[in-house]
Amino acid sequence: MLDLARASCAGGARVRGAQRAGQHVLLFHRLGEMGACAEEAMCVAERAGDERARVEAMVLLAMKRNGSGELAEAKLLYDEGDHRSPPLKPPARAGPRAGLSRV
């Protein structure tokens, strides 16, 4: 899967491909491959200047560290990802009768 992500010419697609590959191998507890995918996604995101993709790759790397028992390093990565991520936008408020229909 990582080779497929590398073959993609677009930076954003390559980052997403590496992240998906990392998430896929997490399910099968293949932490070595997960780390490689996360590091690849991090490098591509940094080169592309995509901060959101960089944060997502950082969390993926933290998940790998968490799974391999490197808890202190995982916590640092989770904290940095939390600090760098943009604040969540509240959902748009609907009117008081939104979703209601006349019968």
Q: State if pTM tops 0.75.
A: no
> Is the pLDDT higher at 86 or at 96?
86
The per-residue pLDDT for range 25-63, each reduced to its tens digit, is: 555 567 777 778 888 888 888 888 888 888 888 888 898
CB 47 within 8 A of CB 57: no
> Is the pLDDT higher at 103 or at 57?
57
Return the closest-CA partner of residue 35 out of 81, 86, 77, 84.
Answer: 77
How far is residue 55 from each of residues 14, 24, 38, 79, 81, measured CA to CA in Å? 15, 18, 11, 11, 5
Say if residue 1's pLDDT is above 70. Answer: no
Predicted pLDDT at 3? 54
